[in-house]
């Protein structure tokens, strides 16, 4: 009998089984992490964000799959300082949006600001135009 080349059937069976198990684990991991990521409140800023005097005006929408209930904190930076504020007790169901007016710590003198909005354990970058009155 000639034993040149060829793979024993048991090795082929083990490789196929290992491939099936690996494909199953990758599929499970992908579905599991996607479902975890999509089962949360995800806020987005709609339209523009503007500061008039020391008040930030913006529209926030919940594009996630569960309701958001909590505080939204804002920290904006410009060349002359940092401006902070909080909207307390914001409640948004999935798909719902609301207009927010957040009083900032000072009145900015710049034409535009950049910073972050923090809600829960998430952070959202934002750019803001300052309208001088």
β-pairing, 122-131 with 112-119? antiparallel
Question: Which one, of 97, 70, 98, 99, lies nearest residue 86 by Cα?
Answer: 70
* Rounded Cα–Cα distance for residues 75 and 83 (Å): 6
In tens, the pLDDT along 44-92 reads: 999 889 999 899 999 999 998 899 999 999 999 988 889 999 999 999 9
Q: Are 58 and 131 in contact (CB under 8 A)?
A: no
Read off the pLDDT of each residue in 117-128 and give the average, rounded to a whole number.
92
Count other Cβ atoms within 10 Å, centred on residue 76. Answer: 27
Q: Locate the domains of the chain by residue range.
A: 1-38, 43-131
Q: Which pLDDT score is estimated for 56?
A: 95
Which runs of E-coded beta strand occur in the chain? 43-52, 55-62, 68-78, 81-92, 97-103, 112-119, 122-131
Q: Which fold has domain 43-131?
A: Immunoglobulin-like (2.60.40)
Q: How confident is the model at residue 18 (pLDDT cuts 50, 70, 90)?
A: very high
């Amino acid at each position: 009998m000639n034993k040149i080349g060829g793979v024993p059937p048991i090795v082929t069976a083990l490789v196929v089984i290992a491939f099936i198990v690996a494909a199953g684990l990758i599929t499970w991991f992908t579905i599991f992490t996607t479902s975890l990521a999509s089962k949360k409140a995800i806020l987005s800023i709609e339209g523009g964000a503007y500061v008039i005097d020391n008040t930030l005006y913006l529209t926030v929408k919940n594009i996630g799959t569960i309701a958001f209930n909590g505080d939204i904190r804002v920290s904006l930076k410009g060349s002359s300082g940092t401006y902070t504020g909080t909207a307390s007790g914001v409640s948004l169901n999935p798909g719902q949006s609301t207009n927010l007016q957040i009083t900032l710590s000072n009145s900015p003198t710049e034409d535009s600001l950049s910073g972050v909005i923090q809600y829960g354990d998430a952070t959202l970058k934002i750019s803001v135009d300052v309208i001088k009155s």
